[in-house]
């Protein structure tokens, strides 16, 4: 009889511990969802077969994290798109830093033009070897030279007079023009 009581108490104790762990996981996931704004749209059309043999569509998405970091992720390399306009607000929240990511070393072979809206302070990307123009707003405060070093001869940077971007372009000997649309 005593063994039965101990067994029943052990089962109850295990159930309480499991319930506590489940509640913690639920609350943790709920907080993570509240701090993440997710998904734009699917730019893709064709389904692909992945390494496991599963059929799937590659995706492009944007996620805004705390601190205003907008992560743009692409599996399609924005195929069929040559211009990427990046907003300074995403789902009514301010974007400070833009990070363009891909599974590959290059973000996109297709992109030729990137336009950043005023309010964005920093751009980070892995590489766009065919990039021709980048429009930097007056709000830009940081440009990572590594991302542009192989583009120096082919790219024109659009800047506003006396901005950080203009000073950066002069310092690193990049071709630049004054303008805010890239069509000047």
Please name every residue paired with 90 in a beta bridge, in sequence order, or none if there are none: 93
Number of domains in the chain: 2
| Inside any domain, residue 22 | yes
Same domain, 80 and 160: yes
- Which pLDDT does position 38 carry in this prediction? 31
**Domain residues for 130?**
38-178
Segment 40-69, tens digit of pLDDT: 433 444 555 555 666 656 667 778 888 999
User: Any idea of the CA torsion for 62, 63, 66, 70, to the nearest 10 degrees?
Assistant: -20
- Which pLDDT does position 103 carry in this prediction? 61
Same domain, 20 and 45: no
Instruction: Say how far apart CA 175 and CA 161 lie, in whole Å.
Output: 14
pLDDT < 50 stretches in the chain: 28-45
Same domain, 57 and 142: yes
- Which pLDDT does position 24 carry in this prediction? 54
């Amino acid at each position: 009889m005593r063994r039965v009581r101990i067994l029943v108490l052990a089962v109850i104790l295990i159930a309480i511990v499991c319930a506590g762990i489940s509640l913690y996981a639920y609350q943790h996931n709920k907080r993570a969802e509240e701090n993440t704004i997710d998904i734009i749209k699917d730019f893709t059309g064709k389904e692909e077969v992945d390494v496991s043999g599963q059929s799937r569509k590659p995706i492009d998405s944007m996620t805004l994290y705390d601190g205003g970091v907008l992560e743009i992720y692409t599996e399609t390399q924005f195929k069929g798109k040559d211009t990427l306009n990046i907003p300074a607000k995403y789902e009514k929240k301010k974007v400070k830093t833009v990070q363009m990511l891909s599974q590959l070393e290059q973000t996109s072979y297709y992109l030729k033009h990137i336009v950043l809206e005023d309010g964005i302070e920093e751009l980070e990307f892995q590489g766009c070897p065919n990039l021709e123009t980048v429009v930097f707003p007056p709000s830009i405060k940081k440009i990572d030279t590594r991302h542009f070093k192989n583009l120096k001869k082919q790219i024109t940077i659009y800047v506003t007079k006396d901005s950080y971007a203009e000073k950066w372009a002069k310092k690193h000997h990049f071709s630049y023009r004054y303008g805010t649309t890239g069509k000047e």
